[in-house]
Amino acid sequence: MSSLTWRLSWWLIRAQFMTRRTATALSMLAIALGVSLGYAIHLINDAALADFSQAMKSVQGEPDAVLAPRDSSGHVPLALVDALARDEAVALAVPVIETRVRLDNTATTVRLIGLDAFSAALLMPNLMPRQGGADGGTTSIFEDGVYASPALLARLNTKVGAPQGLPSVAGITATRGEARWTTPIRGDLPAVRDDELLLVADIAWVQAHFGPREGVGEVRLRLAPGVSPAAWIATWSARLPPGLGLRAADDNLARMSNVSRAYRVNLNVLAMVALLTGAFLVFATQLTAVAQRSTQFALLGVLGLPPRMRLAQVLVEGLAIGIPGAAAGLGLGYGLAVLFTRLLGGDLGGGFFAASSPVVVPELAPAAVFFVAGCGASLMGALYPAWLNRIQPLAPALKAGFAQQAPSTLSASRHAKRIALALVALAAVALTRLPAIDDLPLAGYTAIALVLVLGIAAAPAATRLVFGGLERLRLSAPLRIAVQNILQAPLMAQVAASGLIVSFALTVSMVTMVSSFRTALDQWLDDVLPAPMYMRSKGVPLPADMLAELERPQSPFVRVERMATVMLTLDPRRPPVALLVRELDRADPAARLPFTGAVLAAPPGRITAWISEPLQELHGLVPGQTLHLPLLGREVEVFVGGVWRDYARQFGAVVIAAADYRALGGSVAATDLALWPRPGQEDAAGRWMRAQAKHHGIEGVGSGEIRELSLSIFDKSFAVTYALEAAAMLIGLFGLAVTLAASVWLRARELATLSALGFDRAMLGRAIVFEGALIAVIGLALGLACGVAVGAILTHVVNPQAFHWRMPLQVPWAQVLLGAALTLFAGMGASRFAARQATRLPAAQVLASAQ
Amino acid sequence: MLSIAGLSKRHPHAPRPVFSGLGLSVATGEIVALTGESGVGKSTLLNCIAGLEPADAGTIMVGREATDILRLDEAERAALRARSIGFVFQAFHVLPTLSVAQNIAVPLLLSGVAAHDHAARIEALLARVGLAGFGPRWPASLSGGELQRVAIARALVHGPTLILADEPTGNLDPRTADEVLALLLERVREEGASALIVTHSQHVAQCCDRILTLTPDGLE
Ligand SMILES: Nc1ncnc2c1ncn2[C@@H]1O[C@H](COP(=O)(O)OP(=O)(O)OP(=O)(O)O)[C@@H](O)[C@H]1O
Ligand SMILES: [Mg+2]
């Protein structure tokens, strides 16, 4: 295009924006929202992962490989540590014992890391301590005692190595189960990040007090220069006993990224939906713009505007909406990312990363990608209107204005359309049968998109079906006009309805999914909380003296069930799976676990494990199969006795009976208790529990509270969907109003003729409101049908594949129908508005503008 | 100049052709009036000449290079219109969202006339159609006669060799019609262009160099 045609193009864009400010601004806003949402998610996640890997490096150093037990209660034998240190390919082998201990002084639990001072200094310089007292300075010699991170010191309110050099050293008492260590704080850890609560001590002291007796927790390895880590890991892995695993450095990050992946993808899909609504608004705006200006474009064509410019102009106008929209979206996204990381941390409130405040760093390439996505969405919206504008024949357009339908040679026959629709429906059904791709429900999302396409494409047929019969009835004049208009101008009706179809479908599906999930969660909480009271201490065994008190005959409880948790690494690149060791009746596990299907009894002599639904989804297991668990330093075969529902642990859990675990040689260090008070002693039991909880800094709550808390967390985390639903419905209504107003405008001549024939303004207004209502009925009916289908895909395909949990489908009909009625009402309001615009014009003016 | 030979045209689904084997030629600088009954095909003929509608057979040579517009593709036809043809319609087809000056500038932009002398050229032309100082105004504020003068200015601004006018005064009252027509003829003669003017008015026809009447059997 030459600079001259650019100038003409710019005049037309400016004129267009000036005459349609609201529609243009809203389209821009929708594009901006889509871009900002996607970009913010990207920035936040990038920042969180960078922050996590930095935190991990600062505590772990940067080993090439880590040798660790696959069972979190296991250890690496000392003989193996020696063998590794003797391997020529190993430059540095650093043994580490890491455990969690409870500090009596603070009623909190912290990480205690035991290090060998000489080797650790090379790999983990950040963990090197500084002596308290006058001489200060970093030392690599550990004294008998612990060194605390700055954050922990602040928490303990202890000053070490004060500037004036006053020795002010306090002691702590660390406990873990029955083990107990009272020791002075010798100094601090100046290089540790200030959000880490941790203690460092010499590995020998940690081992002496908390074990493991015959080994270390893990060995972090730096390989000699020139040794390929992958090859080295492969050779060594073959020689390791089954209870141990070697993982490469990048496995940790991959595992972390995997943790929040499905959640992120879900948010990204929401961002894409926002972008698509942006594309839809651009579509509605540009289609009506093309229709309104068909005479102008025909005139420009007569004056010599090249045909490709008629196409290009509409696309350029789409871009003129997309470019500022996407640019604003980038700015908004950055702002959102900064705001959210400050408020919620790097996991967007998903609870996946520990509390941290990562720094958001914008980079050029991703910003460019999101910018292009925003522009692409608006271009996509402008594509069909541009094509329609291109194919308008000049002479008739000049005489009679916009032709709503493509020339008959171009529009497919009704028969071909039906076949195409049937094929799309079949494809959607087929896609819901496909498994997840790379752990993501991509086929499910595609099926949802197809359902929406199907809904929109079915609008003309549905219109004929519903209103075709109406035409033959005796109707009042306004109603007859409305029906005829819809039947004769299917494209405008389709555009007006499509916004409502998509927005109502999304709303219904969202409400359905949330309601199904909530009902299922409610039921599940009933099943998994049989006891009236629960106590829990995260990561650390419950205090031994407290457990001893429960054993006494005068305890206010009739029944106590203990549970211990061990983390098992089944796949080094996935989050570990929880092994729940529970005191339950092996013959009747269903009394404690909400099974989803049949429960099989194990063949005699075999150990039974009951797996959670997420584990079943992840590993494709069925009851009756054998599962290999890395337990207690060896590979143990267990019989899968059943699958139970679990909404708490997304990455899988296995339950085995405490008796079986003890028989295998394990010891149950309880972290969770279920408590049944003695009848009549409920108050005493409650008092006892609260006192213990306060004293030891652990959780102690009634089942009712857990239930309330869980449901309120659920409601809070889904509250944002209501805002999205409202936004979607507003966009749909806006689309209805815009297209209705535009179609009234297009029919100005016909309306003027009607008023000349004695059809008064009130009747005209009523006809337009009827038309809006009829379109809204079609849109809502199709939207409802699509919404239930999409809701079913979300609950039965997307949720199990992305989050590995299943639930029965439950459509909240009352809520949905009320929503439909409200939308219909609002749709009639929007039509009233369009009608007022149309009937305000005096007939003569209408006639003049129709020329 | 314009020269048509053996032109045949039938609308799709129409029972009989609008015209067949039609011949016509307009010399450079000649102004021809085209009359005929309603529905006989005058507008269709003009549309064919401008390349807005396809014809079934024949040749239509237009412009200094005598290009056959029927052999061109859509883009080439648009380019030819931008270069060599000016159009005036019965209805005042003016772009409502562009100012008067911008409306007149459109053919300059489309025919690629260098931008630096647009303003002066438009101002001079506006003065010659009696609209001096109207450049910045919006079409909605102009009367019918004024709008048709704008259309005339726009048809002439890029120096076309052929002006096609389809009942240019049909929408105006008789007095204004006479004024506007006189202006059109004067400007066309001044530019040395050829013109084909469709009209129902005998008075208008008499002001032209030659009068042709289109009948179902051909031109007379
Ligand atoms: N797109 C079309 N399809 C079918 N027939 C058409 C089409 N356009 C015009 N016609 C027919 O072709 C004939 C010529 O039409 P045209 O508009 O050229 O007449 P006209 O001589 O300009 O009439 P008037 O003086 O009333 O403007 C008419 O009979 C008309 O009905
Ligand atoms: Mg005509």
Let me know if residue B18 belongs to a domain. no
Q: Answer yes or no: are the C-beta atoms of A100 and A111 closer than 8 Å.
A: yes
Domain that holds residue B153: 27-42+73-219
Q: Answer yes or no: are the C-beta atoms of B105 and A333 closer than 8 Å.
A: no
Helix (H) or strand (E) holding A298: helix A294-302
Cα–Cα distance, A485 to A747 (Å, whole number): 10
Cβ distance B53 to A300 less than 8 Å, yes or no, reads no
Q: What is the crossing angle of helices A703-746 and A21-60, to 10°?
A: 150
Q: Which of B90, B93, B111, B154 to mutate to test the interface with A (most CBs of A within 10 A)?
A: B93
Output DSSP code: residue A2: -
Cα–Cα distance, B50 to B166 (Å, whole number): 12
Going by C-alpha positions, the residue among A501, A498, A507 that lies closest to residue A739 is A498
Going by C-alpha positions, the residue among A102, A136, A99 that lies closest to residue A115 is A99
A308 inside 8 A of chain B by CB: yes
Tell me the CA end-to-end span of chain B in Å, nearest whole number: 20
Split into its structural domains, chain B has a count of 1
Residues with CB under 6 Å of ligand 1 are: A 396; B 11, 14, 18, 36, 38-44
Cβ distance B97 to A306 less than 8 Å, yes or no, reads no
- A212 prior amide bond cis, ω within 30: yes
Those of residues 728-747 in A touching chain B at CB distance below 8 A are none
B149 inside 8 A of chain A by CB: no
Helix (H) or strand (E) holding A244: strand A244-248
Q: Answer yes or no: are the C-beta atoms of A559 and A677 closer than 8 Å.
A: no
pLDDT for the residue numbered A324: 94
Closest residue of chain B to A293, computed from CA coordinates: B95
Measured in angstroms, the CA of B53 and the nearest CA of chain A are apart by 7
Cα–Cα distance, B24 to B2 (Å, whole number): 8
pLDDT for the residue numbered A345: 57
Of all protein residues, the one whose alpha carbon is nearest to atom 6 of ligand 1 is: B11
Place of tokens 């029965």: A808
Going by C-alpha positions, the residue among B209, B195, B196, B200 that lies closest to residue B177 is B200
Query: Which atom of ligand 1 lies nearest, measured to the CA of A396?
Result: 1
Backbone φ, ψ for residue A446 (5° rounding): -65, -40
Cα–Cα distance, B41 to B55 (Å, whole number): 13
Q: Answer yes or no: are the C-beta atoms of A191 and A127 closer than 8 Å.
A: yes
Span of A137-146, A504-513, B3-12, B126-135 with lowest mean pLDDT? A137-146
Q: Answer yes or no: are the C-beta atoms of B27 and B8 closer than 8 Å.
A: no
Let me know if residue B132 belongs to a domain. yes
To the nearest whole number, what is the mean pLDDT of chain A? 81
Helix ranges restricted to H, A408-489: 414-433, 442-457, 459-471, 477-488
Summarize pLDDT for B69-101 with one digit per residue, the tens.
Answer: 889 888 899 889 988 899 888 776 788 888 999
Q: What is the CATH number of the domain that holds B104?
A: 3.40.50.300
Q: Answer yes or no: are the C-beta atoms of A672 and A536 closer than 8 Å.
A: yes
Cα–Cα distance, B133 to B126 (Å, whole number): 8
- Domain boundaries defined on chain A: 1-62+261-411, 74-248, 538-697
Token output for A595:
């099974």
Give me the amino acid identity at A64. D
pLDDT for the residue numbered A841: 55
Give me the amino acid identity at A656. I
Tally Cβ neighbours within 10 Å of residue A61: 19
Tally Cβ neighbours within 10 Å of residue A363: 10
Cα–Cα distance, A659 to A649 (Å, whole number): 23
Output DSSP code: residue B191: H
A829 inside 8 A of chain B by CB: no
Output DSSP code: residue B139: G
Going by C-alpha positions, the residue among B50, B1, B21 that lies closest to residue B217 is B21
Residues in chain A where the model's pLDDT stays below 70: 1, 105-107, 132-143, 157-170, 252-253, 255-264, 266-267, 344-357, 400-413, 489-490, 720, 742, 745-752, 755-756, 837-851
pLDDT for the residue numbered A429: 92
Backbone φ, ψ for residue B208 (5° rounding): -95, 170
Closest residue of chain B to A399, computed from CA coordinates: B91
Burial class (CB in 10 A: 0-12, 13-18, 19+), A531: middle
Q: How many residues does chain A have?
A: 851
Q: How many angstroms separate the alpha carbon of residue B205 from the centre of ligand 1?
A: 21
